[in-house]
Amino acid sequence: MGRINGLLLGALVLLATAVSYSATAPAHDVFVKFDTAIESTVFEFYVNLFKYLYHALIKTSELLESVLKDDTIVRNNNINQTKVLFQGYIAETTERLKPPPTNMTKLDGFLCIVANIHTLNLFGDIVKRYNTTSLPTPSDEYRLIEAALKRHGLDELINNLKIRKTEFINEFLLKMDIVVTDLSEEDKIKNHKLVEWYQNYRNSTEEQRANDIFTHFAQMYARF
């Protein structure tokens, strides 16, 4: 594990603790330990990623909760499987949103973000599953479920999450542009993995960047 990864893992513990206990903790309170600009910029990105995931898990879970209370869903006895699926998602997010253990190891901090990403992806699967536009012969039940999801704000939520994601990604790229340009040759070599990752990421389109943020995150840790 390279130096930057070690530092970032340390950062994850800090931010996992700080952000879980107070979702509104300002980033600058926790990244004072990061001496170089590139480290603090990446750390700030993680704080924002963590906050985003936290927010997304709460909102997606709330959406499914209100769908489960919808009249058309409550009185339908042919969609028990869907109800169980939604309840499972809500239970999993509740688990994710619990404060982390007090003596978290560095690995726990990293796994915490990975787990959050994994859970949020399950919501993506749900959205895909009940998207009747992309199904060849959607059943009445699927139409009913999709309609309930939309009535309770699915499209607005997806849109809102996309805007949030794009905002902090663009802010990150803007800062990284400056930081990487100002990097000394020595630091560029020291941080070459991060710089390469960033340049690759920089090169993708805005749409790809928003969609692939989690893939890119994983790539950054490919050596982990």
What is the x/- site pattern for ligand NAG, positions 37-76, by CB under 6 A?
----------------------------------------
CA angle 73, 76, 81 (to 5 degrees): 80
Helix (H) or strand (E) holding 207: helix 206-220
The nearer residue to ligand NAG, 103 or 184, going by C-beta atoms, is 103
Q: Closest CB to ligand NAG among 133 and 181?
A: 133
Please report how many Cα atoms fall inside a 13 Å half-sphere around the Cα of residue 101, on the Cβ side: 9
**Does 137 participate in binding ligand NAG (rule CB under 6 A)?**
no
CA distance 69 to 168: 33
Which 73-102 positions form the footprint of ligand NAG (CB under 6 A)?
77-78, 80
- What six digits make up the tokens of 140? 């009445």
Nearer residue to ligand NAG within complex by CB, 199 or 215: 199
CA distance 71 to 24: 35
- Judged by CB under 6 A, does residue 158 bind ligand NAG? yes
Q: Which of 96, 92, 112 is nearest to 14 (CA)?
A: 112
The only residue of 127, 147, 173, 210 in contact with ligand NAG, by rule CB under 6 A: 127
Which residues are near ligand NAG by CB under 6 A? 77-78, 80, 103, 105, 127, 131, 133-134, 158, 199-200, 203
